[in-house]
């Protein structure tokens, strides 16, 4: 299976920051060590979201490229195990999502592998980092409370990725004192509720993730770093 070129569109030197944030475990979250830094920008006529998610069992870097209409074209993920010698035993994967055949290439300590992922071209992706849902919200356009959009979605959070039919539902707004007042609520998979601001940027979730600015609890202890992400050159 041959590798595909890195997507480009327009003048990539024209970069516009659309949003960025820092989320981490709130006091009610079961897992207390989660942190997530995200950045969303426009490069030429592409949208790009990058995420760095860390917790005591895994460090994950993600980059997803979308076209001008927020259709996912390519996703990249590097997972490392904190403290595993010598380099965190990285597992790096790239997903080509823009064609008729959805593929994944992987490089890990076990070697290099390539797969086809069954299913239709996804309309959205769900991966490490709650902030990724904001791209699907933008793709869906204005949604009223009770509206539902659905379609094939690539879920690449676990070790075995898959494409399933998934619904995104706008639920009634919620008064959330820990986030300073009213937030919008969207639910995916019928059970995972995410909180956003009016622009669709993720500010927390029902499990207890919150913006760093809303918390007065200590930040998680820093974990090892294993080099800058290289989504263009790896795997």
Tens digits of residue pLDDT in 73-107? 999 999 999 989 889 999 999 999 999 999 999 99
Residue 3 above 90 pLDDT? no
Residue 2 above 90 pLDDT? no
pLDDT for the residue 13 = 86
**How many residues does the structure list for the chain?**
235
How many CA atoms are closer than 13 Å to the CA of 48, on its beta-carbon side?
21
18 pLDDT band (50/70/90 cuts)? very high
- Across residues 165-181, what is the average pLDDT? 98
Handedness of CA 105, 14, 139, 25 (dihedral sign): positive
1 pLDDT band (50/70/90 cuts)? low
Question: pTM of the prediction?
Answer: 0.95
**H or E segment to which residue 135 belongs:** helix 133-140
pLDDT for the residue 181 = 96
- Across residues 37-64, what is the average pLDDT? 97
């Amino acid at each position: 299976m041959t590798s595909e070129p890195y997507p480009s569109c327009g003048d990539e030197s024209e970069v516009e920051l659309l949003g960025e944030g820092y989320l981490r475990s709130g006091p009610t979250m079961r897992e207390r060590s989660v942190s997530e830094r995200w950045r969303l920008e426009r490069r030429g006529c592409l949208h790009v979201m990058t995420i760095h998610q860390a917790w005591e069992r895994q460090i994950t870097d993600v980059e997803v490229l979308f076209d001008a209409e927020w259709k996912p074209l390519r996703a990249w993920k590097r997972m490392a195990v904190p403290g595993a010698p010598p380099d965190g035993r990285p597992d790096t994967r790239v997903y080509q999502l823009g064609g008729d055949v959805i593929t994944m290439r992987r490089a890990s300590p076990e070697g290099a592998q390539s797969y086809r992922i069954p299913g239709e071209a996804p309309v959205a992706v769900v991966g490490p980092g709650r902030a990724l849902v904001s791209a699907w919200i933008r793709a869906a356009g204005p949604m009223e409370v009770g509206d539902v959009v659905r379609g094939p979605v690539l879920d690449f959070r676990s070790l075995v990725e898959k494409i399933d039919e998934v619904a995104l539902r706008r639920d009634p707004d919620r008064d959330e004192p820990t986030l300073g007042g009213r937030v919008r609520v969207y639910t995916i998979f019928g059970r995972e509720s995410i909180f956003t601001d009016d622009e669709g940027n993720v500010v927390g979730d029902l499990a207890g993730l919150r913006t760093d600015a809303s918390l007065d609890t200590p930040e998680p202890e820093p974990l090892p770093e294993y080099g800058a992400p290289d989504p263009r050159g790896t795997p």
